[in-house]
Chains A and B, each alone.
Chain A
């Protein structure tokens, strides 16, 4: 192997890379929060409503699930840019990730809602709860328990696809790595470290999720 590895510049850039990793986590977490809220809404709309609103929700879910994440990113970046809506790279990544998360989570939630029998809603209604109360106190807690693991996977997925941000000029972990790599041409070394950082992030998320699930689902 005729290649001299140079790790020193990479180590020097490590603080910046770790800072960028925080940005990755931030945008992924934010897109998850928004994705969960919108996904819940989409799945409820698809189950209870008719007409154009339902059609819109179905289109959203199917588009998010049947086109590549990179395509979605390009659409919100270059596509909207072409019609005069110029977003910052941060917003492009956040919107594309949220769009994607919401679509996938809506499908998961639908499965979760199906698993809670209708009789429970009727029982809680006959105990005097309003429909809203029945949903927020009886149904949604159970649904969240069912979709907890799919949600964890979606969070990991959000972190992984946020790496595509480097293609629209977003300086999260991958974008920052790309920036340093093209400055020094030490492409392999930089991306190797970045791969390690991503691996650690994913392990931390999975570890935290399993710790949290032990606390949340004690009963």
Chain B
């Protein structure tokens, strides 16, 4: 006969599905932010590389702020600032917006390095062969620059995917938050943390392996 009632119910296969769904949300918020952020970041990187001093004095310091302040502070600040200017944002929206700007700040550096990796003589010869500025960008700078910085872009993307765990602080139920909810219910702390960690690892490790293989192959 059971003399004590149990508050906590054990870990069930259903909970694994709950975690998998949450991993899907982590993936979704990451894909959105990395996608938007990369487009923005490439634009900023291009702007930085064409407007030498003007860019360094205007966009660069602003982007620098997002790299120098902890992401968690940025999220809390923005989430509390948005209502002041009359924006009603869900944790998801606020998370996507901040992660996008954060990604853009990181990618702008990568993109700029990529553009600058293509030597001036090569670009001049492209132009003197009759290519327009955009043709030179599309057929010369893009393929060469991409090769030079693609691995570091993957590094940034993986970093953002991992940093998306911080959106849990705003209350968005992504993988880490889901694991916390389950821990509160089941008290199986180690098991659930291990599963959550395994999900993150499974999302990140294959891509980082692929990136390092790629880097090795291209550096030969």
Contacts and interface: CB of A to CB of B under 8 A. Distances in A.
Interface string A4-19: 0000000000000000
A66 B201 contact: yes
B189 interface: yes
B189 A167 contact: no
A71 B193 contact: yes
B196 interface: yes
Given A68-B176, A160-B71, A75 B193 contact: yes
Interface of B: 65, 68-74, 76-77, 80-81, 84-86, 158, 162-163, 165-166, 168-169, 176, 180, 183, 187, 189-190, 193, 196-197, 200-201, 204-205, 208
Contact of A66 (B70, B85, B169, B200): B200
Max count, chain B CB within 10 A of own CB: residue among A70, A164, A187: A70
Given A74-B193, A75-B197, A203 B183 contact: no
Contacts of A192: 77
Interface of A: 1-3, 62-63, 65-71, 74-75, 78-79, 81-83, 156, 160-161, 163-164, 166-167, 174, 187-188, 191-192, 194-195, 198-199, 202-203
A202 B197 CA distance: 29
B176 A203 contact: no
Contacts of B200: 66-68, 71
Contact of A1 (B71, B85, B162, B169): B85
A102 to B, nearest CB: 17
B80 A187 contact: yes
A195 B204 contact: no
Contacts of B158: 66
9 contacts: A1-B85, A66-B205, A68-B176, A75-B193, A82-B189, A164-B70, A174-B70, A198-B73, A202-B68
A160 B70 contact: yes
B68 A187 contact: no
A219 B198 CA distance: 47
Nearest to A70: B165
Max count, chain A CB within 10 A of own CB: residue among B76, B77, B201: B76
Max count, chain A CB within 10 A of own CB: residue among B70, B71, B168: B70
B95 to A, nearest CB: 14
The main secondary structure of chain B at its interface with chain A is helix
A65 B208 CA distance: 9
Contacts of B193: 71, 74-75, 78-79
A110 B169 CA distance: 35
The 9 lowest CB-CB distance pairs between A and B, nearest first, are A82-B189, A163-B70, A68-B165, A68-B162, A66-B204, A202-B68, A3-B84, A160-B70, A188-B80
Contacts of B73: 163, 174, 191, 194-195, 198
A83 B72 CA distance: 28
Contacts of A198: 68-70, 73
A199 B61 CA distance: 11
Given A66-B205, A67-B162, A195-B69, A188 B176 contact: no
A113 B190 CA distance: 36
Contacts of A70: 165-166, 168, 176
A82 B184 CA distance: 12
Max count, chain A CB within 10 A of own CB: residue among B86, B176, B197: B197
A47 to B, nearest CB: 15
Contact of A67 (B81, B169, B197): B197
A67 B193 CA distance: 11
A83 B193 CA distance: 13
Contact of A78 (B71, B77, B84, B183): B183
